[in-house]
Structures are given as structure tokens and as C-alpha cells.
Amino acid sequence: MPTRTSSAVWNGDLKGGAGTVALGSGVFEGPYTYVSRFEDGSGTNPEELIAAAHAGCFSMFLANVLAGAGFTADSVRTSAAVTLGAGPKITGIALTVEASVPNLDADAFAGHVETAKAGCPVSAALSAVPMTVDATLV
């Protein structure tokens, strides 16, 4: 399996400094600052990038769990909200999932969601953080 890389540079002190983060693939590079991380300013932040990674991984993993059970998802849409609390520390992750899966009932879907929550590699890596999954079959 491949190893993925990303990088970051920070210049200056915490509140007055600024930095950039870049994905190793080259598809994204963006600025981040104290304001973009701890307040509501423009730019990205580590928590937003974690949320994107988690949403992408969970959608793929759930689609794979469904396929393993004989179901093909028309779509799996996941949004992730990563909360940064005092400390600072990540205090919670909330996944919201909407999936369109023909011929699947809600109870079976809920079971597959729990399997995905337990097996998604990013969920596993972030397991020290309280995590919720609100999943809807549409």
C-alpha cells in the first residue's frame, strides 16, 4: 500500500504568523493562519483538512461495505464536522451521511453504517476522539 504525504510551513509566532499547507499530490495548496484556525477567517486549517479526509474515506469505505453485502450504492455523500475545543484539542467529529442504495432497507443500512464506522481507516486513526454518525438512507 502507498504512503501519502503532505507538508506545511509556518512563519512567525502563533497569532501573527502565517503558513501554507500542501498536499503531496499537488492538487491543493492553501494558506492558514491563527484566524483561519481559531476564529473565522479565510484560509484553511488542519481540522478542515481532517474533515475532508474523513468524509472521503468514510464514503468510500461504506460503499465498499455495501458492495460486500451485495448492494451497489448510487451515491454515498458524507460531510464531516471536526470541532476544535479548548486546549486546543479536537473534541468531537460528527459525520452526516446520505446514501442512495437500491433494494436496501433502513435497518440493514444502519448495520452497514456501524460496520463502516468501525472499519474506516480514518475513523480508526481518529478513534480517540468522540465520533457520531447520523446516516440516512434516501
Cβ-based neighbours of 88, under 8 Å, separated by 6 or more: 38
pLDDT (tens digit, 9 = 90+) per residue, 8-18?
999 999 999 99
Indicate the pLDDT class of residue 44, thresholds 50, 70 and 90.
very high
CB 40 within 8 A of CB 21: no
Q: What is the per-residue pLDDT for 126?
A: 97
**Looking at the domain covering 46-137, what would its CATH class be?**
alpha beta
Whether 78 and 94 have beta carbons less than 8 Å apart is answered as: no
pLDDT surpasses 90 at 38: yes
Distances (CA, A) of 65 to 29, 57, 69, 79: 32, 12, 6, 18
What's the whole-number mean pLDDT along residues 105-132? 97
- What is residue 51's DSSP assignment? H
Cell of 125: 486513526
pLDDT above 90: residue 1: no
Per-residue model confidence (pLDDT) at position 15:
96
Residue 64 has pLDDT above 90, yes or no: yes
Q: How many CB atoms lie within 10 A of CB 61?
A: 21
Domain boundaries, the chain: 6-38, 46-137
The pLDDT value recorded for residue 81 is 98
Query: Is pLDDT above 90 for 96?
Result: yes
